[in-house]
Structure 1
């Protein structure tokens, strides 16, 4: 037994000795190994009472960096123009290309200098992965030039100048404010947008304003990738405004023609030009009168709630623009064939294939009706209602009246064409719609709870979710706070929509679907409950 114990002690001693030997060898190798060492070099600048420490020359050769526009690497601050973190001692932290390292450095730096002296803002929530202070280099470098210099003083072929021209030509300043550049009020202010959003995120927001899932009234302009990048470069330059001179002003030419001055053609089709965003104004002479146009220009949301159209706000400007529009519209000749009439009057919104995805459909308030294969809807809707929609339009939406463009026989022929060509049914193919019982609004259940359980998921508790949240499937749910539309809809129409659903949409039946309408029945509410829901929805619209 003692021999075994002694043997075990010898093994432990041998293992310990081997451990010490290996540790010693590793220590010798560590100290003998040749290491790359680098002396940290830094330059300190003082700008506007701010102390700026930069270690860029630790890696960057001062001789290899030629002066640009009088700026030198040693006499001027690098980060004021190029972003990045001057105190960083690794490429990732200095260039701010590593999210985790970046945020760690931000917190460390902000804690060190105190709240009042912070130069680096924390990343905004909801935009993970973006680096608003990431290094600006290559074609993005001209963003930094805009912090001090107006676009007119920079090379005309630089991305920043191209972006400024796009901002001006596309009428972005009609909606957005940038101090010293534009004074729009419809959209969000962009004066400091470059401080909080990266070039990548700015590009994504321009290309697809709805990508976050939150409804944006900003339309999709269909710009090329190169134009989007240039516009994002210009917006990225709206940052670090403590660098910008007090007298910074971007001077623009004021056109005499109100159509040009208010950038109407940046969005609309008019006089042979087409912005591809809004309706065809060459047809306005046959759809609206001058008073309607003037009232709309003064307050677009009074006619179309949540409209992306910026208001003019000035009676004189609205009057001049309305008169010029009515005078300058091209008034194209009416085509003889229904197919050509559809292409001219309908396809821009409803799509050439009748799928409800026309060129400007995504920019309109209320999705255009889908005709393609929508048999259930057109079998249920009366001919009279379809005819009225074409001749009188639909209030609160972008569906305009066409009674001054098309005669009765033209409207009938056009409806026949739509039904047979797109819906795939004959004009006399109808389903028997439900009958509407006498209206009652009495009952024991809490109708607000019924609405919240069954309707609020799509329409929202206040009825306007369709104007705030983007649903993945088209079309968007109806906005109950669109008062012009809700005022034009009868109680009987609302009862039918709830009771038997709406074919071609996600609105299911809450009493019993009509056979052949392709609508699913979700619940079996009583007539009294449905009438109370109708009354509740009407009150949401504030029309009573």
Structure 2
């Protein structure tokens, strides 16, 4: 018996009627307006068909562009400037849209010159035309397509294929979108914008902002525009089976005298992001002394799975073989000897710290946007440093901070050098004297009877989810509103290094210098300790929690 529960809402039918009416009106407007947009002087509309890779293609373009030339505005449809010589190509065989794009069958000038949206079919002209060369020709140096070829070389040198996949590549695609047919979906302007400002859309993009010049952005855009769904130089079966060969690009500089193992920094595209010696990708941490600071096992494990060692790390998996990874770790440890040359603590700070923490100490260093966790801000953060013991700060410099990009400097710097850095930070950035004694606020007492799981989940939903997210990854709906970003509560290495009292204290009293508020006035002691147990569950760090099943 139908009780009415399955009937659609009453407003559905009027809405569908209105939508159909608007669609019909828009169609009529385009037909009427489009037909009068171009004055054909009463002449016939030219309609030509040519064969492109076995597919018949029809166009109206020569109605205005007679013999492929540029229309003369005063007579518009019946005279045109001559088309430049494109030998060995022929206009009668290629038509217009195969190189210039556009919508060849449209009658409206604006539509025929490229539909709105992301500009995938927007008319190309001048130097932009080389963005279509490799849609027809296999990838190799080609006269007239120098910038597009340079874009492919840059794509390989910068390790773009480690994150993105392009057709025929055997790896890539885990971190970034598949770019195999990106030229069929985006125009040159959208491609250039995505390269220059990757976090503009989407705002949560993890793609680093590479320090490309304008000419490099243009070259990459030309190359990517040539990546189309059905390349003309291959059959559909070849394209879908990945039987299209991509030329190898020599990564190792031949003119330099490299040490044994150093070539792996180039082969693995490490220097596309990292710094080593004088080479600097300006995206990721300095590797010059990493072999002395980090243990061999850590380096090997990190190379095998970066996100396991530092949750949230955006470094892609290595493209090197296991044997090459081992040889690279051996090289980094063998060559990372000695200490950074410095005359003063300031010079030492600029060599080791400013890349992450910034020269002015505000935490917004060169590579900060690409790190999994925000570097600690020194400037303007006196409230935080008033409540941190010197012992903890020295331990952070000496042993690093687990689960973050903060490395241990205990093997690289002497105790005196570490202390001089700490003194510099307090004097120059924090602006207070190092506290002699820090009295920590009392930790709320743990209850004898833990809360039920359902109650703890509700407390988490009410107070934590919007920043830390439902899964605790630090990507809640309000996460992008704050810098530093909310803590990733699933970071096992980090929370393994904390005791329960420190977690409970942070929940109760907040954390200065971050958006973490004090919840001690809003939550009971049982709820605070219930959240401690929840964090232990999320981070999978031990069995100290006593959450009732």
TM-score, length of structure 1 as denominator length: 0.81
* Aligned residue number for residue 11 of structure 1: none
Whether the 8 Å CA contact 1:155–1:161 is kept in 2: the answer is no
Aligned to 1:250: 246
Structure 1 residues 450 and 166, CA gap change in structure 2 (3 angstroms): same
Q: Displacement of 1:282 after TM fit?
A: 0.8
- List alignment gaps of at least 5 residues for structure 2: 1-38, 70-81, 253-262, 543-549
Residues 250-287 of structure 1: per-residue CA shift (max 9 Å, x gap): 21145572111112111111131111011111121321
Is the counterpart of residue 167 in structure 1 residue 155 in structure 2?
yes
What displacement does 1:429 show?
Answer: 6.5
> Partners in 1 of 2:290 and 2:363 — Cα distance?
21
Shift of the 47–419 alpha-carbon distance from structure 1 to 2, 3 Å rule, reads: same
1:336 is displaced (CA, Å) by 4.2
The farther-off stretch of 212-221 and 404-413 is 212-221
Contact 1:66 1:72 in 2 (8 A): no
Q: Does 1:417 align with 2:424?
A: yes
The number of residue pairs the alignment matches comes to 470
Equivalent residue for 1:479? Answer: 488
1:73 to 91, 110, 114: 91
Gaps of 5+ in 1: 1-33, 100-128, 512-522
Deviation at 1:391? 0.8
Q: Is the 8 A contact 1:82 1:137 kept in 2?
A: yes
Q: For each residue in 1:324-373, what CA deviation from the matched residue of structure 2 results, as whole angstroms up to 9, or x when unmatched?
A: 33344575534242212111111110000001011111111101111101
Per the alignment, residue 56 of structure 1 pairs with 61
Q: Distance in 1 between matches of 2:63 and 2:480?
A: 51
Q: Which runs of 4+ in 1 moved over 4 A?
A: 253-256, 328-332, 467-470
CA distance in 1, matches of 2:505, 2:379: 22
Alpha-carbon distance between aligned partners in 2 of 1:35 and 1:293, rounded to the nearest angstrom = 70
d(CA) in 2 for partners of 1:467, 1:157:
45
> Which of these residues, 214, 217, 231, is aligned with residue 225 of structure 1?
214
- Computing the radius of gyration from Cα coordinates, the structure with the larger value is 1
Cα contact 2:296–2:329 (8 A) shared by 1 = yes
Q: Alignment partner of 1:142: what SS?
A: helix
Equivalence map 1:23-62=2 (5 Å): 36-48=41-53, 50-62=55-67
**CA pair 86-407 structure 1, distance change in 2 beyond 3 A:** same
For the 8 Å contact 1:293–1:322, the answer to whether it is kept is yes
The answer to which of 329-338 and 146-155 deviates more is 329-338
Q: SS where residue 66 of structure 2 aligns?
A: coil
Contact kept in structure 1, 2:164 and 2:172, CA below 8 Å: yes
Please, which of 442, 450, 464 is the counterpart of residue 450 of structure 2? 442
Match among 352, 357, 382 for residue 364 of structure 2:
357
Q: What value does the CA root-mean-square deviation take over the aligned residues?
A: 2.5
- 1:456 corresponds to which residue? 465
Q: 2:498 aligns with which of 472, 475, 489?
A: 489
Q: What is the alpha-carbon distance in structure 1 between the residues aligned to residue 144 and residue 105 of structure 2? A: 34
Could you say if the C-alpha distance between residues 85 and 395 of structure 1 is closer, same or farther in structure 2, counting changes exceeding 3 Å? same
Correspondence list, 1:157-306, <5 A: 158-180=146-168, 183-187=171-175, 188-245=177-234, 246=238, 248-253=244-249, 257-306=263-312
Give the match's secondary structure for 2:516.
Answer: coil
Name the CA shift for 1:279/1:35 in 2 (closer, same or farther; >3 Å): closer
Structure 1 residues 128-185: Cα deviation after superposition (integer angstroms, max 9, x where no partner):
x422222222332211111122342323773212211211221212222212356324
| Counterpart contact for 2:161–2:171, Cα < 8 Å | yes
Match of residue 101 from structure 2: 83
| Cα deviation 1:431-483 (Å, max 9, x = unaligned) | 63211134336236722122112111111111114399861432111111222
- Which sits farther off after the overlay, 320-329 or 445-454? 320-329
How far the C-alpha of 1:214 sits from its partner, in A, is 4.3
- Secondary structure of 1:471's counterpart equals helix
Q: In structure 2, the residue corresponding to 1:53 is in which secondary structure?
A: strand
Q: Secondary structure at the match of 1:478?
A: coil
Partner residue, 1:130: 118
